[in-house]
């Protein structure tokens, strides 16, 4: 699994990553009523479900952003993979998707 090569990222890349991640995480609905529950042993299925969904959404946003960066070649150390990903993204940019 490729690792983030932060040493290869410019200050602008890191700023963009943080800014995009912050915007994505801020778009997640937080179950405030559930979080305000005072019952430390709460077994309310609605509360359990709401917290599980919020946590899942946060993880998915972070994974999605990392995958986007990987596809852009910003995280991968392999020039071969970067060139293939670049060609793939070029095809997507030219398509009507």
Q: Where are the domains of the chain?
A: 9-94
pTM: 0.54
How many angstroms separate the Cα of 64 from the Cα of each of 41, 43, 91, 93?
33, 31, 20, 19
Bigger pLDDT: 20 vs 77: 20
Q: Which ranges of the chain does DSSP label H, i.e. alpha helix?
A: 11-26, 32-35, 45-71, 79-94
Q: How far apart are CA 64 and CA 17, in angstroms?
A: 12
Q: In this predicted model, what pLDDT tens digit does every residue of 60-87 receive, in sequence order? A: 888 887 777 776 665 555 555 556 555 5
pLDDT of residue 92: 47
Residues in Cβ contact with 42 at an 8 Å cutoff, skipping those fewer than 6 apart: 48
Q: How far apart are CA 25 and CA 29, in angstroms?
A: 9
């Amino acid at each position: 699994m490729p690792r983030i090569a932060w040493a290869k990222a410019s200050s602008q890349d890191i700023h963009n990553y943080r800014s995009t991640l912050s915007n994505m995480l801020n778009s997640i609905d937080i179950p405030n009523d559930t979080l305000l529950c005072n019952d430390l042993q709460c077994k309310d299925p609605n509360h359990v479900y709401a917290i599980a969904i919020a946590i899942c959404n946060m993880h998915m946003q972070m994974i999605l952003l990392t995958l986007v960066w990987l596809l852009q070649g910003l995280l991968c150390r392999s020039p071969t993979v970067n060139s293939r990903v670049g060609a793939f993204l070029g095809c997507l940019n030219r398509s009507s998707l």
